[in-house]
Chain A
Protein backbone atom coordinates (compact mmCIF):
# COMPACT_ATOMS: atom_id res chain seq x y z
CA UNK A 1 0.00 0.00 0.00
CA UNK A 2 1.38 3.42 -0.83
CA UNK A 3 1.77 6.13 1.76
CA UNK A 4 -1.06 8.41 0.62
CA UNK A 5 -3.60 5.63 0.74
CA UNK A 6 -2.34 4.56 4.14
CA UNK A 7 -2.88 8.04 5.53
CA UNK A 8 -6.35 8.31 3.96
CA UNK A 9 -7.22 4.95 5.52
CA UNK A 10 -6.27 6.12 8.99
CA UNK A 11 -8.07 9.43 8.52
CA UNK A 12 -11.31 7.59 7.68
CA UNK A 13 -10.89 5.06 10.49
CA UNK A 14 -10.19 7.87 12.94
CA UNK A 15 -13.30 9.79 11.85
CA UNK A 16 -15.37 6.66 12.49
CA UNK A 17 -13.74 6.29 15.90
CA UNK A 18 -14.43 9.92 16.79
CA UNK A 19 -18.07 9.50 15.79
CA UNK A 20 -18.25 6.52 18.15
CA UNK A 21 -16.78 8.56 21.00
CA UNK A 22 -18.41 11.90 20.20
CA UNK A 23 -21.49 11.34 22.41
CA UNK A 24 -19.24 11.05 25.46
CA UNK A 25 -17.51 14.31 24.66
CA UNK A 26 -20.77 16.11 23.94
CA UNK A 27 -22.47 14.71 27.04
CA UNK A 28 -19.55 16.01 29.07
CA UNK A 29 -19.90 19.46 27.45
CA UNK A 30 -23.60 19.55 28.32
CA UNK A 31 -23.00 18.22 31.83
CA UNK A 32 -20.51 20.98 32.62
CA UNK A 33 -22.61 23.87 31.32
CA UNK A 34 -25.94 25.36 32.31
CA UNK A 35 -29.08 24.56 30.38
CA UNK A 36 -29.20 28.13 29.04
CA UNK A 37 -25.64 27.74 27.75
CA UNK A 38 -26.83 24.72 25.80
CA UNK A 39 -29.94 26.49 24.52
CA UNK A 40 -28.08 28.92 22.33
CA UNK A 41 -26.77 29.33 18.86
CA UNK A 42 -24.02 28.78 17.95
CA UNK A 43 -23.66 25.92 20.44
CA UNK A 44 -20.91 25.99 23.01
CA UNK A 45 -18.25 23.38 22.34
CA UNK A 46 -16.15 23.87 25.44
CA UNK A 47 -16.36 22.49 28.95
CA UNK A 48 -17.94 24.76 31.53
CA UNK A 49 -17.72 24.87 35.31
CA UNK A 50 -21.27 23.89 36.24
CA UNK A 51 -20.62 20.19 36.77
CA UNK A 52 -20.87 20.36 40.58
CA UNK A 53 -24.17 22.25 40.42
CA UNK A 54 -25.57 19.82 37.87
CA UNK A 55 -24.59 16.84 39.97
CA UNK A 56 -26.27 18.46 42.97
CA UNK A 57 -29.47 18.92 40.96
CA UNK A 58 -29.40 15.29 39.91
CA UNK A 59 -29.04 14.18 43.51
CA UNK A 60 -31.91 16.43 44.58
CA UNK A 61 -34.25 14.89 42.05
CA UNK A 62 -33.48 11.20 42.11
CA UNK A 63 -31.88 8.87 44.61
CA UNK A 64 -28.96 8.56 42.25
CA UNK A 65 -26.34 6.94 44.44
CA UNK A 66 -28.72 4.44 45.97
CA UNK A 67 -29.85 3.57 42.43
CA UNK A 68 -26.25 3.10 41.46
CA UNK A 69 -25.66 0.95 44.52
CA UNK A 70 -28.73 -1.13 43.63
CA UNK A 71 -27.44 -1.54 40.08
CA UNK A 72 -24.02 -2.56 41.35
CA UNK A 73 -25.53 -5.10 43.77
CA UNK A 74 -27.69 -6.59 41.01
CA UNK A 75 -24.92 -6.64 38.40
CA UNK A 76 -22.29 -8.13 40.71
CA UNK A 77 -24.49 -10.81 42.27
CA UNK A 78 -26.01 -11.77 38.91
CA UNK A 79 -22.53 -12.07 37.41
CA UNK A 80 -21.21 -14.26 40.23
CA UNK A 81 -24.24 -16.56 40.18
CA UNK A 82 -24.16 -16.85 36.39
CA UNK A 83 -20.45 -17.68 36.41
CA UNK A 84 -20.92 -20.40 39.02
CA UNK A 85 -24.12 -22.05 37.74
CA UNK A 86 -23.26 -21.74 34.05
CA UNK A 87 -19.74 -23.11 34.40
CA UNK A 88 -20.92 -26.04 36.50
CA UNK A 89 -23.60 -26.97 33.95
CA UNK A 90 -21.31 -26.32 30.97
CA UNK A 91 -18.58 -28.52 32.41
CA UNK A 92 -21.07 -31.32 33.01
CA UNK A 93 -22.39 -31.10 29.44
CA UNK A 94 -18.90 -30.90 27.97
CA UNK A 95 -17.19 -33.75 29.76
CA UNK A 96 -19.67 -36.29 31.10
CA UNK A 97 -22.23 -38.65 29.70
CA UNK A 98 -25.48 -39.43 31.38
CA UNK A 99 -28.99 -40.41 30.29
CA UNK A 100 -30.94 -37.52 28.76
CA UNK A 101 -27.83 -35.44 28.04
CA UNK A 102 -28.73 -34.73 24.39
CA UNK A 103 -32.36 -33.92 25.11
CA UNK A 104 -31.46 -31.56 27.91
CA UNK A 105 -29.01 -29.76 25.68
CA UNK A 106 -31.52 -29.34 22.86
CA UNK A 107 -33.99 -27.90 25.36
CA UNK A 108 -31.29 -25.49 26.51
CA UNK A 109 -30.67 -24.28 22.95
CA UNK A 110 -34.37 -23.90 22.24
CA UNK A 111 -34.80 -21.61 25.24
CA UNK A 112 -32.54 -19.06 23.57
CA UNK A 113 -35.18 -18.43 20.90
CA UNK A 114 -37.79 -17.18 23.36
CA UNK A 115 -38.14 -13.38 23.37
CA UNK A 116 -38.52 -11.63 26.73
CA UNK A 117 -42.03 -10.33 25.95
CA UNK A 118 -43.30 -13.88 25.76
CA UNK A 119 -42.81 -14.44 29.46
CA UNK A 120 -42.97 -11.02 31.01
CA UNK A 121 -46.66 -10.81 32.01
CA UNK A 122 -46.90 -14.13 33.90
CA UNK A 123 -43.43 -13.49 35.27
CA UNK A 124 -44.71 -10.29 36.81
CA UNK A 125 -47.61 -12.24 38.34
CA UNK A 126 -45.10 -14.75 39.72
CA UNK A 127 -43.22 -11.88 41.33
CA UNK A 128 -46.48 -10.67 42.87
CA UNK A 129 -47.10 -14.16 44.24
CA UNK A 130 -43.55 -14.42 45.64
CA UNK A 131 -43.78 -10.91 47.09
CA UNK A 132 -40.74 -9.85 45.06
CA UNK A 133 -42.25 -6.85 43.25
CA UNK A 134 -40.01 -3.86 43.88
CA UNK A 135 -37.25 -6.06 45.27
CA UNK A 136 -33.84 -6.62 43.72
CA UNK A 137 -34.42 -10.37 44.05
CA UNK A 138 -36.79 -10.05 41.09
CA UNK A 139 -33.84 -8.98 38.96
CA UNK A 140 -31.16 -11.35 40.27
CA UNK A 141 -32.84 -14.72 40.80
CA UNK A 142 -34.47 -15.19 37.35
CA UNK A 143 -31.17 -14.17 35.73
CA UNK A 144 -28.94 -16.38 37.89
CA UNK A 145 -28.29 -18.96 35.15
CA UNK A 146 -28.67 -18.62 31.41
CA UNK A 147 -28.55 -20.76 28.30
CA UNK A 148 -26.15 -18.53 26.39
CA UNK A 149 -23.46 -18.81 29.04
CA UNK A 150 -23.79 -22.58 29.34
CA UNK A 151 -23.63 -22.96 25.57
CA UNK A 152 -20.62 -20.67 25.37
CA UNK A 153 -18.62 -22.25 28.18
CA UNK A 154 -19.43 -25.79 27.07
CA UNK A 155 -17.62 -25.22 23.77
CA UNK A 156 -14.69 -23.83 25.67
CA UNK A 157 -14.49 -26.76 28.08
CA UNK A 158 -14.71 -29.23 25.22
CA UNK A 159 -11.73 -27.71 23.46
CA UNK A 160 -9.53 -26.71 26.35
CA UNK A 161 -9.98 -29.27 29.12
CA UNK A 162 -8.29 -32.51 28.18
CA UNK A 163 -9.81 -35.77 29.29
CA UNK A 164 -6.38 -37.00 30.43
CA UNK A 165 -6.28 -34.18 32.97
CA UNK A 166 -9.69 -35.17 34.30
CA UNK A 167 -8.62 -38.80 34.53
CA UNK A 168 -5.43 -37.84 36.32
CA UNK A 169 -7.30 -35.70 38.79
CA UNK A 170 -9.80 -38.50 39.37
CA UNK A 171 -6.94 -40.94 40.05
CA UNK A 172 -5.57 -38.44 42.54
CA UNK A 173 -8.82 -38.77 44.42
CA UNK A 174 -10.70 -35.72 43.13
CA UNK A 175 -14.47 -36.10 43.03
CA UNK A 176 -16.74 -34.32 40.60
CA UNK A 177 -16.52 -31.00 42.43
CA UNK A 178 -12.78 -31.37 42.89
CA UNK A 179 -12.24 -31.86 39.17
CA UNK A 180 -14.47 -28.87 38.49
CA UNK A 181 -12.53 -26.68 40.90
CA UNK A 182 -8.98 -27.79 40.21
CA UNK A 183 -9.08 -28.69 36.53
CA UNK A 184 -12.02 -27.07 34.78
CA UNK A 185 -12.17 -23.61 36.33
CA UNK A 186 -8.45 -22.73 36.07
CA UNK A 187 -8.30 -23.70 32.40
CA UNK A 188 -11.41 -21.73 31.47
CA UNK A 189 -10.30 -18.39 32.85
CA UNK A 190 -10.47 -16.41 29.56
CA UNK A 191 -13.94 -17.72 28.77
CA UNK A 192 -15.12 -16.99 32.29
CA UNK A 193 -13.72 -13.46 32.02
CA UNK A 194 -15.69 -12.84 28.84
CA UNK A 195 -18.92 -14.26 30.22
CA UNK A 196 -18.44 -12.27 33.40
CA UNK A 197 -18.01 -8.92 31.64
CA UNK A 198 -20.81 -9.71 29.22
CA UNK A 199 -23.20 -10.53 32.05
CA UNK A 200 -22.14 -7.51 34.06
CA UNK A 201 -22.67 -5.11 31.13
CA UNK A 202 -26.04 -6.64 30.20
CA UNK A 203 -27.21 -6.51 33.80
CA UNK A 204 -25.99 -2.94 34.33
CA UNK A 205 -27.82 -1.73 31.21
CA UNK A 206 -30.97 -3.83 31.61
CA UNK A 207 -34.08 -1.67 31.35
CA UNK A 208 -37.21 -3.50 30.17
CA UNK A 209 -37.65 -5.89 33.11
CA UNK A 210 -36.53 -3.49 35.89
CA UNK A 211 -38.93 -0.87 34.46
CA UNK A 212 -41.78 -3.32 34.93
CA UNK A 213 -40.92 -4.93 38.23
CA UNK A 214 -39.37 -2.06 40.21
CA UNK A 215 -42.44 -0.11 41.29
CA UNK A 216 -41.09 1.91 44.20
CA UNK A 217 -39.67 5.24 42.92
CA UNK A 218 -37.22 5.34 45.83
CA UNK A 219 -35.85 1.93 45.05
CA UNK A 220 -34.80 1.78 41.39
CA UNK A 221 -31.85 0.75 39.29
CA UNK A 222 -29.76 3.33 37.50
CA UNK A 223 -31.38 2.94 34.08
CA UNK A 224 -34.92 3.26 35.42
CA UNK A 225 -33.93 6.21 37.62
CA UNK A 226 -32.29 7.91 34.66
CA UNK A 227 -35.35 7.37 32.50
CA UNK A 228 -37.67 8.79 35.14
CA UNK A 229 -35.34 11.77 35.61
CA UNK A 230 -35.54 12.37 31.86
CA UNK A 231 -39.31 12.04 31.87
CA UNK A 232 -39.87 14.42 34.77
CA UNK A 233 -37.18 17.02 34.03
CA UNK A 234 -36.58 16.61 30.30
CA UNK A 235 -36.29 20.37 29.79
CA UNK A 236 -33.39 20.67 32.24
CA UNK A 237 -30.95 19.20 29.77
CA UNK A 238 -27.72 19.89 31.58
CA UNK A 239 -29.01 18.02 34.61
CA UNK A 240 -30.35 15.05 32.64
CA UNK A 241 -27.11 14.81 30.65
CA UNK A 242 -25.16 14.83 33.91
CA UNK A 243 -27.26 11.89 35.04
CA UNK A 244 -26.61 10.11 31.74
CA UNK A 245 -22.89 10.74 32.08
CA UNK A 246 -22.79 9.37 35.62
CA UNK A 247 -24.70 6.29 34.47
CA UNK A 248 -22.39 5.58 31.53
CA UNK A 249 -18.97 6.25 32.96
CA UNK A 250 -18.49 3.36 35.43
CA UNK A 251 -19.34 0.84 32.75
CA UNK A 252 -17.05 2.44 30.17
CA UNK A 253 -14.19 2.25 32.68
CA UNK A 254 -14.90 -1.42 33.42
CA UNK A 255 -15.04 -2.06 29.70
CA UNK A 256 -11.78 -0.32 28.84
CA UNK A 257 -9.96 -2.27 31.55
CA UNK A 258 -11.18 -5.61 30.17
CA UNK A 259 -11.66 -4.57 26.53
CA UNK A 260 -9.14 -6.87 24.87
CA UNK A 261 -10.42 -10.03 26.51
CA UNK A 262 -14.01 -9.01 25.94
CA UNK A 263 -13.65 -8.25 22.23
CA UNK A 264 -11.72 -11.48 21.71
CA UNK A 265 -14.51 -13.42 23.37
CA UNK A 266 -17.30 -11.63 21.52
CA UNK A 267 -15.78 -12.32 18.10
CA UNK A 268 -14.91 -15.95 18.80
CA UNK A 269 -18.57 -16.67 19.36
CA UNK A 270 -19.57 -15.22 16.02
CA UNK A 271 -16.79 -16.82 14.00
CA UNK A 272 -17.23 -20.28 15.41
CA UNK A 273 -20.96 -20.16 14.61
Chain B
Protein backbone atom coordinates (compact mmCIF):
# COMPACT_ATOMS: atom_id res chain seq x y z
CA UNK B 1 0.00 0.00 0.00
CA UNK B 2 1.58 3.23 -1.10
CA UNK B 3 1.02 6.61 0.35
CA UNK B 4 2.37 8.67 -2.49
CA UNK B 5 -1.02 9.80 -3.75
CA UNK B 6 -1.83 11.92 -0.74
CA UNK B 7 -1.74 15.62 -1.28
CA UNK B 8 -0.05 17.71 1.40
CA UNK B 9 -2.84 18.88 3.67
CA UNK B 10 -3.59 22.55 3.86
CA UNK B 11 -4.30 23.18 7.41
CA UNK B 12 -5.23 25.54 10.10
CA UNK B 13 -2.25 24.40 12.13
CA UNK B 14 0.36 25.46 9.60
CA UNK B 15 2.08 28.75 10.22
CA UNK B 16 1.58 30.90 7.14
CA UNK B 17 4.83 32.12 5.56
CA UNK B 18 5.89 35.44 7.00
CA UNK B 19 4.27 34.87 10.34
CA UNK B 20 6.66 34.14 13.20
CA UNK B 21 7.38 30.43 13.80
CA UNK B 22 5.20 28.97 16.50
CA UNK B 23 6.62 27.27 19.50
CA UNK B 24 6.27 23.51 19.57
CA UNK B 25 3.97 23.85 22.58
CA UNK B 26 1.34 25.55 20.46
CA UNK B 27 0.74 22.22 18.76
CA UNK B 28 -0.09 20.41 22.00
CA UNK B 29 -3.62 19.58 20.91
CA UNK B 30 -2.35 17.57 17.96
CA UNK B 31 0.16 15.65 20.02
CA UNK B 32 -2.47 14.98 22.64
CA UNK B 33 -4.84 13.67 19.94
CA UNK B 34 -2.14 11.30 18.68
CA UNK B 35 -0.92 10.25 22.09
CA UNK B 36 -3.28 7.31 22.85
CA UNK B 37 -1.89 5.22 20.01
CA UNK B 38 1.75 6.08 20.68
CA UNK B 39 1.50 5.62 24.44
CA UNK B 40 -0.21 2.25 24.01
CA UNK B 41 2.29 1.28 21.36
CA UNK B 42 5.22 2.21 23.56
CA UNK B 43 3.89 0.11 26.46
CA UNK B 44 2.32 -2.81 24.57
CA UNK B 45 4.32 -2.76 21.34
CA UNK B 46 7.73 -1.16 21.38
CA UNK B 47 8.78 -2.29 24.84
CA UNK B 48 7.71 -5.95 24.39
CA UNK B 49 9.25 -6.17 20.91
CA UNK B 50 12.57 -4.79 22.16
CA UNK B 51 12.33 -7.07 25.15
CA UNK B 52 11.69 -10.12 22.94
CA UNK B 53 14.70 -9.31 20.79
CA UNK B 54 16.82 -9.08 23.95
CA UNK B 55 15.20 -12.27 25.23
CA UNK B 56 16.36 -14.11 22.11
CA UNK B 57 19.92 -13.72 23.41
CA UNK B 58 19.04 -14.79 26.94
CA UNK B 59 18.08 -17.86 28.90
CA UNK B 60 15.01 -17.40 31.08
CA UNK B 61 12.39 -19.66 32.65
CA UNK B 62 10.05 -16.80 33.55
CA UNK B 63 10.88 -16.84 37.28
CA UNK B 64 14.62 -16.71 37.92
CA UNK B 65 17.06 -14.07 36.70
CA UNK B 66 17.66 -13.59 33.00
CA UNK B 67 21.01 -14.81 31.81
CA UNK B 68 22.83 -13.54 28.72
CA UNK B 69 23.83 -16.49 26.53
CA UNK B 70 24.84 -14.75 23.31
CA UNK B 71 23.91 -16.63 20.17
CA UNK B 72 23.24 -19.92 21.94
CA UNK B 73 19.48 -19.86 21.24
CA UNK B 74 20.05 -19.28 17.55
CA UNK B 75 22.74 -21.97 17.38
CA UNK B 76 20.28 -24.35 18.97
CA UNK B 77 17.58 -23.20 16.56
CA UNK B 78 19.68 -24.11 13.53
CA UNK B 79 20.21 -27.64 14.84
CA UNK B 80 16.69 -28.08 16.19
CA UNK B 81 14.97 -30.52 13.84
CA UNK B 82 11.56 -29.75 15.41
CA UNK B 83 11.95 -26.09 14.45
CA UNK B 84 12.74 -27.01 10.84
CA UNK B 85 9.85 -29.46 10.80
CA UNK B 86 7.52 -26.72 12.02
CA UNK B 87 8.82 -24.40 9.31
CA UNK B 88 8.29 -27.10 6.68
CA UNK B 89 4.75 -27.73 7.97
CA UNK B 90 3.98 -24.01 7.88
CA UNK B 91 5.23 -23.60 4.31
CA UNK B 92 3.50 -26.76 3.03
CA UNK B 93 0.24 -25.64 4.64
CA UNK B 94 0.72 -22.17 3.18
CA UNK B 95 1.14 -23.52 -0.36
CA UNK B 96 -1.59 -26.16 0.00
CA UNK B 97 -4.08 -23.55 1.14
CA UNK B 98 -3.07 -20.37 -0.71
CA UNK B 99 -2.72 -21.85 -4.21
CA UNK B 100 -6.28 -23.26 -4.36
CA UNK B 101 -7.71 -20.28 -2.47
CA UNK B 102 -6.41 -17.64 -4.86
CA UNK B 103 -7.06 -19.71 -8.01
CA UNK B 104 -10.66 -20.53 -7.11
CA UNK B 105 -11.18 -16.95 -5.93
CA UNK B 106 -10.03 -15.56 -9.27
CA UNK B 107 -12.30 -17.92 -11.24
CA UNK B 108 -15.27 -17.12 -8.99
CA UNK B 109 -14.60 -13.39 -9.26
CA UNK B 110 -14.52 -13.50 -13.07
CA UNK B 111 -17.78 -15.44 -13.03
CA UNK B 112 -19.36 -13.12 -10.49
CA UNK B 113 -18.26 -10.12 -12.54
CA UNK B 114 -20.19 -11.37 -15.55
CA UNK B 115 -23.28 -12.17 -13.51
CA UNK B 116 -25.92 -9.47 -13.58
CA UNK B 117 -28.36 -10.55 -10.88
CA UNK B 118 -27.92 -11.64 -7.27
CA UNK B 119 -24.42 -10.17 -7.02
CA UNK B 120 -25.12 -8.75 -3.56
CA UNK B 121 -26.44 -12.05 -2.20
CA UNK B 122 -23.44 -14.00 -3.51
CA UNK B 123 -21.04 -11.50 -2.01
CA UNK B 124 -22.58 -11.78 1.44
CA UNK B 125 -22.61 -15.60 1.29
CA UNK B 126 -18.99 -15.70 0.14
CA UNK B 127 -17.86 -13.34 2.88
CA UNK B 128 -19.47 -15.17 5.79
CA UNK B 129 -16.77 -17.85 6.24
CA UNK B 130 -14.23 -15.07 6.76
CA UNK B 131 -16.04 -13.60 9.75
CA UNK B 132 -16.68 -17.01 11.31
CA UNK B 133 -14.76 -17.78 14.47
CA UNK B 134 -11.60 -19.80 13.80
CA UNK B 135 -12.23 -22.01 16.82
CA UNK B 136 -15.78 -22.88 15.79
CA UNK B 137 -14.71 -23.51 12.19
CA UNK B 138 -11.82 -25.72 13.33
CA UNK B 139 -14.19 -27.78 15.48
CA UNK B 140 -16.51 -28.12 12.51
CA UNK B 141 -13.77 -29.26 10.11
CA UNK B 142 -12.38 -31.69 12.65
CA UNK B 143 -15.87 -33.25 12.73
CA UNK B 144 -16.10 -33.38 8.94
CA UNK B 145 -12.76 -35.19 8.69
CA UNK B 146 -13.43 -37.42 11.69
CA UNK B 147 -12.81 -41.15 11.17
CA UNK B 148 -15.99 -42.62 12.59
CA UNK B 149 -18.76 -40.36 11.43
CA UNK B 150 -17.11 -37.62 9.40
CA UNK B 151 -18.89 -36.52 6.26
CA UNK B 152 -15.82 -37.14 4.12
CA UNK B 153 -15.61 -40.77 5.17
CA UNK B 154 -19.36 -41.21 4.78
CA UNK B 155 -19.02 -39.89 1.26
CA UNK B 156 -16.14 -42.26 0.52
CA UNK B 157 -18.15 -45.18 1.88
CA UNK B 158 -21.14 -44.23 -0.21
CA UNK B 159 -18.91 -44.33 -3.28
CA UNK B 160 -17.52 -47.70 -2.22
CA UNK B 161 -14.07 -46.28 -1.57
CA UNK B 162 -11.87 -47.09 1.43
CA UNK B 163 -12.15 -44.63 4.33
CA UNK B 164 -9.19 -42.84 5.84
CA UNK B 165 -8.12 -41.92 9.35
CA UNK B 166 -7.70 -38.31 8.21
CA UNK B 167 -6.70 -36.66 11.47
CA UNK B 168 -4.59 -39.65 12.51
CA UNK B 169 -2.04 -39.43 9.72
CA UNK B 170 0.37 -36.71 8.56
CA UNK B 171 -1.03 -35.90 5.12
CA UNK B 172 -4.61 -36.21 6.29
CA UNK B 173 -3.93 -33.54 8.90
CA UNK B 174 -2.47 -31.20 6.31
CA UNK B 175 -5.40 -31.77 3.95
CA UNK B 176 -7.94 -31.12 6.72
CA UNK B 177 -6.21 -27.92 7.85
CA UNK B 178 -5.77 -26.52 4.36
CA UNK B 179 -9.38 -27.37 3.46
CA UNK B 180 -10.47 -25.23 6.37
CA UNK B 181 -8.23 -22.34 5.31
CA UNK B 182 -9.50 -22.58 1.73
CA UNK B 183 -13.09 -22.47 3.02
CA UNK B 184 -12.38 -19.48 5.21
CA UNK B 185 -10.43 -17.35 2.73
CA UNK B 186 -11.68 -18.10 -0.81
CA UNK B 187 -14.75 -15.90 -0.50
CA UNK B 188 -12.81 -13.00 0.96
CA UNK B 189 -10.34 -13.06 -1.92
CA UNK B 190 -13.18 -13.44 -4.43
CA UNK B 191 -14.72 -10.20 -3.18
CA UNK B 192 -11.36 -8.42 -3.36
CA UNK B 193 -10.73 -9.66 -6.93
CA UNK B 194 -14.27 -8.72 -7.93
CA UNK B 195 -13.66 -5.16 -6.79
CA UNK B 196 -10.41 -5.16 -8.77
CA UNK B 197 -12.21 -6.45 -11.88
CA UNK B 198 -14.88 -3.79 -11.59
CA UNK B 199 -12.20 -1.11 -11.50
CA UNK B 200 -10.81 -2.11 -14.93
CA UNK B 201 -12.04 0.41 -17.52
CA UNK B 202 -14.51 -1.18 -19.95
CA UNK B 203 -12.92 0.60 -22.93
CA UNK B 204 -10.01 -1.81 -22.67
CA UNK B 205 -12.32 -4.76 -23.13
CA UNK B 206 -14.09 -3.09 -26.01
CA UNK B 207 -10.77 -2.39 -27.71
CA UNK B 208 -9.79 -6.04 -27.27
CA UNK B 209 -13.09 -7.11 -28.79
CA UNK B 210 -12.52 -4.86 -31.79
CA UNK B 211 -9.08 -6.44 -32.20
CA UNK B 212 -10.78 -9.84 -32.26
CA UNK B 213 -9.30 -11.20 -29.01
CA UNK B 214 -11.09 -14.22 -27.57
CA UNK B 215 -12.04 -14.60 -23.89
CA UNK B 216 -8.78 -16.33 -22.97
CA UNK B 217 -6.54 -13.76 -24.68
CA UNK B 218 -8.55 -10.97 -23.10
CA UNK B 219 -8.14 -12.58 -19.69
CA UNK B 220 -4.39 -13.01 -19.95
CA UNK B 221 -3.52 -9.79 -21.77
CA UNK B 222 -5.91 -7.35 -20.06
CA UNK B 223 -7.55 -8.76 -16.95
CA UNK B 224 -4.54 -10.33 -15.26
CA UNK B 225 -2.06 -7.46 -15.82
CA UNK B 226 -4.64 -4.93 -14.63
CA UNK B 227 -5.29 -7.01 -11.54
CA UNK B 228 -1.63 -7.22 -10.59
CA UNK B 229 -1.71 -4.77 -7.64
CA UNK B 230 -4.80 -6.49 -6.25
CA UNK B 231 -3.16 -9.90 -6.64
CA UNK B 232 -0.12 -8.53 -4.82
CA UNK B 233 -2.35 -7.40 -1.98
CA UNK B 234 -4.02 -10.81 -1.66
CA UNK B 235 -0.71 -12.67 -1.84
CA UNK B 236 0.79 -10.49 0.90
CA UNK B 237 -2.27 -10.90 3.13
CA UNK B 238 -2.20 -14.67 2.55
CA UNK B 239 1.53 -14.84 3.26
CA UNK B 240 1.34 -12.90 6.51
CA UNK B 241 -1.65 -14.97 7.63
CA UNK B 242 -0.22 -18.26 6.38
CA UNK B 243 3.10 -17.87 8.16
CA UNK B 244 1.21 -17.31 11.41
CA UNK B 245 -1.16 -20.29 11.24
CA UNK B 246 -1.92 -21.33 14.81
CA UNK B 247 -5.58 -21.79 15.73
CA UNK B 248 -6.46 -24.33 13.02
CA UNK B 249 -3.93 -27.01 14.10
CA UNK B 250 -4.16 -26.12 17.80
CA UNK B 251 -7.90 -26.79 17.86
CA UNK B 252 -8.07 -29.58 15.26
CA UNK B 253 -5.18 -31.83 16.34
CA UNK B 254 -4.01 -30.30 19.61
CA UNK B 255 -0.81 -28.63 20.76
CA UNK B 256 1.44 -31.56 19.80
CA UNK B 257 0.49 -31.12 16.16
CA UNK B 258 -0.94 -34.64 15.82
CA UNK B 259 0.57 -37.64 14.04
CA UNK B 260 4.25 -37.09 13.19
CA UNK B 261 3.68 -33.52 14.45
CA UNK B 262 2.27 -32.84 11.00
CA UNK B 263 0.16 -29.93 12.25
CA UNK B 264 2.93 -28.36 14.31
CA UNK B 265 3.32 -24.93 12.73
CA UNK B 266 6.06 -22.51 13.72
CA UNK B 267 3.71 -20.32 15.75
CA UNK B 268 2.32 -23.39 17.52
CA UNK B 269 5.90 -24.46 18.30
CA UNK B 270 6.56 -20.95 19.59
CA UNK B 271 3.47 -21.13 21.80
CA UNK B 272 4.51 -24.51 23.24
CA UNK B 273 8.08 -23.35 23.85
CA UNK B 274 6.97 -20.19 25.64
CA UNK B 275 3.82 -21.14 27.50
CA UNK B 276 4.16 -24.89 27.94
CA UNK B 277 7.91 -25.40 28.36
CA UNK B 278 8.52 -21.90 29.83
CA UNK B 279 11.67 -21.64 27.76
CA UNK B 280 11.20 -17.92 27.11
CA UNK B 281 14.63 -17.20 25.69
CA UNK B 282 14.35 -19.86 23.02
CA UNK B 283 10.77 -18.79 22.30
CA UNK B 284 12.16 -15.29 21.73
CA UNK B 285 14.58 -16.65 19.14
CA UNK B 286 11.71 -18.46 17.37
CA UNK B 287 9.60 -15.28 17.42
CA UNK B 288 12.43 -13.25 15.91
CA UNK B 289 12.88 -15.79 13.12
CA UNK B 290 9.13 -15.76 12.35
CA UNK B 291 9.32 -11.98 12.05
CA UNK B 292 12.34 -12.14 9.73
CA UNK B 293 10.53 -14.73 7.65
CA UNK B 294 7.46 -12.50 7.31
CA UNK B 295 9.69 -9.60 6.22
CA UNK B 296 11.57 -11.80 3.74
CA UNK B 297 8.42 -13.20 2.15
CA UNK B 298 6.76 -9.80 1.95
CA UNK B 299 9.87 -8.41 0.24
CA UNK B 300 9.93 -11.34 -2.23
CA UNK B 301 6.25 -10.86 -3.08
CA UNK B 302 6.79 -7.15 -3.51
CA UNK B 303 9.69 -7.66 -5.91
CA UNK B 304 7.93 -10.35 -7.91
CA UNK B 305 4.88 -8.21 -8.55
CA UNK B 306 6.07 -4.61 -8.39
CA UNK B 307 9.44 -5.28 -10.03
CA UNK B 308 7.93 -6.52 -13.25
CA UNK B 309 5.21 -3.93 -13.51
CA UNK B 310 7.69 -1.04 -13.48
CA UNK B 311 9.74 -2.43 -16.38
**List of A residues within 8 angstroms of B34 by Cβ:** 89, 92-93, 104
Indicate which residue in B6, B44, B151 contacts A126 across the interface (CB closer than 8 Å): B44
A158 CB to nearest chain B CB (Å): 6
Closest to B298 in A: A113
Residues in chain B near residue A58, CB distance under 8 A: none
Main secondary structure on A side of the interface with B = helix
Asked if B11 contacts A96 (CB within 8 A), the reply is yes
Q: Which residue of B lies closest to A128 (CB)?
A: B62
B261 at the interface (CB under 8 A from A): no
Name the residue on B nearest A8 (C-beta): B111
Known contacts A97-B13, A267-B192, A267-B195; A115 and B290 CB within 8 A of each other: yes
Q: Are A116 and B129 in contact (CB under 8 A)?
A: no
Q: Encode B8-42 as 1/0 by CB contact (under 8 A) with A.
A: 11111110000000001001011101101110110
Q: For residue A167, which residues in chain B have a CB less than 8 angstroms away from its CB?
A: 12
CB–CB B133/A13 < 8 A = no
Residues 109-131 (chain A) with a chain B CB within 8 angstroms: 109, 111, 113-123, 125-126
Q: Establish whether residues A120 and B196, one from each chain, have CB atoms under 8 Å apart when the complex forms.
A: no
Interface 0/1 of B91-123, CB less than 8 Å to A? 000000000000010001001101101101111
| Cβ–Cβ contact A23 & B140, under 8 A | yes
Nearest A residue (CB) for B46:
A111
The distance in angstroms between the C-alpha atoms of A146 and B40, with both chains bound, is 9
Contact (Cβ within 8 A) A240 B139: yes
Given contacts A92-B33, A97-B14, A230-B251, contact A21 B51 (CB under 8 A): no
A39/B38 contact (C-beta < 8 A), A12-B111, A92-B33, A114-B45 known = no
CB–CB B36/A115 < 8 A? no
In the bound complex, CA of A65 to CA of B188 (Å): 30
Q: How far is the CA of A96 from the CA of B31 in the complex (A)?
A: 11
- Contact indicator per residue, chain B 181-192, by CB within 8 Å of chain A (1) or not (0): 001001110011
Contacting residue for A141 out of B40, B230, B267, CB 8 A: B40
- Per the bound structure, the CA–CA distance linking A16 and B286 in Å amounts to 38
CB distance from B158 to the nearest CB of A (A): 7
B51: nearest residue on chain A (CB-CB)? A122
In the complex the two chains form, is A251's CB within 8 Å of B191's CB?
A: no
Determine the chain B residues whose CB is within 8 A of the CB of A223 once the complex forms.
Answer: 133-135
Main secondary structure of the interface of B (DSSP, over half): helix
Cβ of A111 to closest chain B Cβ, rounded Å: 6
Cβ of B252 to closest chain A Cβ, rounded Å = 9
- Per the bound structure, the CA–CA distance linking A95 and B13 in Å amounts to 9
B7 in contact (CB, < 8 A): yes
Q: Quick one: which of A125, A180, A268 has the most chain B CB within 10 A?
A: A125
Considering the complex, give the chain B residue whose CB is closest to the CB of A158.
Answer: B6
A118–B143 touching, CB < 8 Å: no
**Are B112 and A263 in touch, CB under 8 angstroms?**
no
Residue of A nearest to B5 (CB): A272
Chain A residues numbered 239-255 whose CB sits less than 8 Å from any CB in chain B? 240-241, 244-245, 247-248, 251-252, 255
Find A122's partner among B48, B123, B136 (CB 8 Å cutoff).
B48
- Can you show 17 pairs from A to B with CB atoms below 8 A apart? A13-B108, A19-B183, A39-B149, A98-B27, A98-B30, A113-B295, A117-B291, A118-B291, A121-B283, A122-B47, A126-B44, A142-B44, A166-B11, A237-B146, A251-B133, A267-B195, A273-B1
